[in-house]
Structure 1
């Protein structure tokens, strides 16, 4: 389920209007006839795993507070969060949660803390496999502003649904610190997000506009290789570029490092053909999806890093997978933009056979007309003297993932008119 019961939300609001002095217009948040909500930030859920470095997903939490910082790409007058227990095997109890404007690190700005409620209650239990939305918080949000979401988890959660590569710092403290202004209690850090899968906003200048962009893909969409806590992933920079051009719109990121189009993995999420419907097609206020995926299908069959090789995938099967994603996007009224696969020469994925597959997929993306538009990320970051290799100035160091400058080049390659 994506949200809690509309009827229960409405009933709770009606019962509390008189006691809390809520304006009648606030009842609009309880039903589908209310204000339009827009995706402002997102992270695709993953099952607990630790293939690269230690994180908190396998052990989970017990009598601990986790504080997570996210930057939204569109603003509004109210906000709500999405929490997920998609890969949990037992119910997840959220004892309490707050949202606030970020100050510095794990600290939040005075006067900005709002207690989040769920159908009017301060705590909520999310069933195994479930996802839900909080009630609206009266916290005006600015585009490119950072929000801090704090969850207090009094009961043992068991292994945690999370997002592995956040390129952002999350914080943990023992005990209940959801209302703390200072960050002194938060003495543990992690570069992952836990249970938090979305932020939505309503109100403001973009009310009623369905023009958001979802970027969908693997580690190169996820931002692996970008500098921690700088929001330099290509989707972030694309959102900034749109705003600077006077054409602001939300850009949300549904990349998962290591993800594949046709193969599930234990460490890099469900295959794109499965998760596209859950991650992309449920996002509100979205008009366009940019799809950059397939290099892990190609390279994953010839390497043991970080797990056993995945089944070999032909270029033809990859193309068939892309065609399926395009059909599903079109069925939901979304424009589908295809992105070419970036260079791999010099990386642990490279071989002549793998390069031949990459070239075949890229040629199909560029020339088939199956996508509504194309962004040529391959040529944007390639070395002109050796087009199968990423330009050194754009390489994070592994010949596979761009650095901040490389992600800038990718964002600059998108034709804004095509969005």
Structure 2
């Protein structure tokens, strides 16, 4: 039996009132080949995809959300499971739980739609990892995905949803597909969440793959060490712009703010780090990415003000992150630097944000604050490395959350 699910982007938010908490999330994107090898454009046919994600909080039950937001046809999922992850594509024997949807083992997700699985009993720990396996028995066509996962996802022929071993999963990429959320409930689940909202720096570009060393991961570790069961959700998209949509880099942050931040269960605070791509793409000759016209500081501050206004209207605290140094990268010139400086001065001094995380100050070189310090540079003069992401997490005032 297949259940026809006709949801649109207006999804089930019952979780906010029935004890569900954010466990893991990824902001979804249109299919595309912009970030190297991935399977989003070709999709899947008689294949299973196993995806490993790190939970920010634990619990005694779990459910997942599958997204066909950017699909132009219904997406048929023939089988699905969740389990505690082991090494690589393997999962812990005895922990595999079949996922159902309205009581059925299969589900058909409408074009533009999203569906939640039924809850399953699964005891998870904070910072624990789970593996979600999806089987597609028929050609899917292009699928909704998240490009820059910095974590391996695995593919194998046939239905592998009940398989504990990972030997058959011989192919991998570093993107997530169809899976957009894992929520947890029960003992150990944090009732509230903070969302890190931004571009590739929030997404973790430059961090060590399969190590969960993005700055939101480091922030979650700080909160756990402090004994605060506050979930941390990563809503970054590589290349994302505050003001403009992009086929490659997602909908504008202003357009996706409600869906990726405010509509999540128990959101208490959001950390905003956006504007670097708006400045870089519009000031430097990169025609593939270039907006129609250069973006002004006034437009950027207006966009930030709008995010603050919407968050406050929902009772969510808003922390502004200053734009990190990028001198020496392909984005940089004198005009771009002047805009970064002016935007950072506004973030620090305008009093619009409830608090400021001064990422620029902690990452800048002592010799030249326009330059990313060598100790924190992943190698491209723009994206921090693991040490830089830890420093970013340390710049967030926990009391402001």
TM-score (norm 1): 0.91
Report the 3-state secondary structure (helix = DSSP H, G, I; strand = E; otherwise coil) of the residue aligned with 1:387.
Answer: coil
5+ unaligned residues in a row in structure 1: which ranges? 7-30
Q: In 2, are the aligned partners of 1:60 and 1:158 still within 8 Å (CA)?
A: yes
- Superposed CA RMSD in Å reads 1.6
Is 1:393 aligned with 2:395? no
Is 1:199 aligned with 2:154? no
Report the 3-state secondary structure (helix = DSSP H, G, I; strand = E; otherwise coil) of the residue aligned with 2:371.
Answer: strand
> Among 206, 228, 246, which residue is 1:247 paired with?
228
Is 1:380 aligned with 2:362? yes
Q: In 2, are the aligned partners of 1:38 and 1:285 still within 8 Å (CA)?
A: yes
5+ unaligned residues in a row in structure 2: which ranges? 1-7
CA offset at residue 33 of structure 1?
Answer: 9.4
Aligned to 2:102: 119
CA offset at residue 282 of structure 1?
Answer: 1.4
Aligned to 1:217: 198
Report the 3-state secondary structure (helix = DSSP H, G, I; strand = E; otherwise coil) of the residue aligned with 1:81.
Answer: strand
Report the 3-state secondary structure (helix = DSSP H, G, I; strand = E; otherwise coil) of the residue aligned with 2:370.
Answer: strand
Aligned to 2:86: 103
Aligned to 1:80: 63
> Among 349, 363, 376, which residue is 1:367 paired with?
349
Do the aligned partners of residues 271 and 204 (structure 1) sit closer, same or farther apart at CA in structure 2, a change above 3 Å counting?
A: same
Q: In 1, are the aligned partners of 2:151 and 2:175 still within 8 Å (CA)?
A: yes
Measured in 2, the distance between the counterparts of 1:192 and 1:317 equals: 32
Task: Count residues in correspondence.
Answer: 393
Report the 3-state secondary structure (helix = DSSP H, G, I; strand = E; otherwise coil) of the residue aligned with 2:362.
Answer: helix
Measured in 2, the distance between the counterparts of 1:376 and 1:300 equals: 23
5 Å-filtered alignment, 1:319-398, equals 319-398=301-380
Report the 3-state secondary structure (helix = DSSP H, G, I; strand = E; otherwise coil) of the residue aligned with 2:83.
Answer: strand
Do the aligned partners of residues 223 and 4 (structure 1) sit closer, same or farther apart at CA in structure 2, a change above 3 Å counting?
A: closer
Aligned to 2:256: 275
Aligned to 2:384: 402
CA offset at residue 119 of structure 1?
Answer: 0.8
Q: In 2, are the aligned partners of 1:92 and 1:128 still within 8 Å (CA)?
A: yes
> Among 31, 35, 54, which residue is 1:52 paired with?
35
**Cα deviation digits, residues 78-135 of structure 1 (max 9, x gap):** 0101110010000001111000000110000011000001111111011011111111
Is 1:173 aligned with 2:156? yes
> Among 145, 151, 164, which residue is 1:162 paired with?
145
TM-score (norm 2): 0.95
CA offset at residue 206 of structure 1?
Answer: 4.3
**Cα deviation digits, residues 332-372 of structure 1 (max 9, x gap):** 11111110000011111110100000011100000111111
Measured in 1, the distance between the counterparts of 2:370 and 2:171 equals: 41
Which has the higher mean CA deviation after the structures are superposed, 34-43 or 359-368? 34-43
Measured in 2, the distance between the counterparts of 1:275 and 1:296 equals: 16
Do the aligned partners of residues 341 and 33 (structure 1) sit closer, same or farther apart at CA in structure 2, a change above 3 Å counting?
A: closer
CA offset at residue 142 of structure 1?
Answer: 0.7
Aligned to 1:262: 243
Q: In 2, are the aligned partners of 1:63 and 1:155 still within 8 Å (CA)?
A: yes
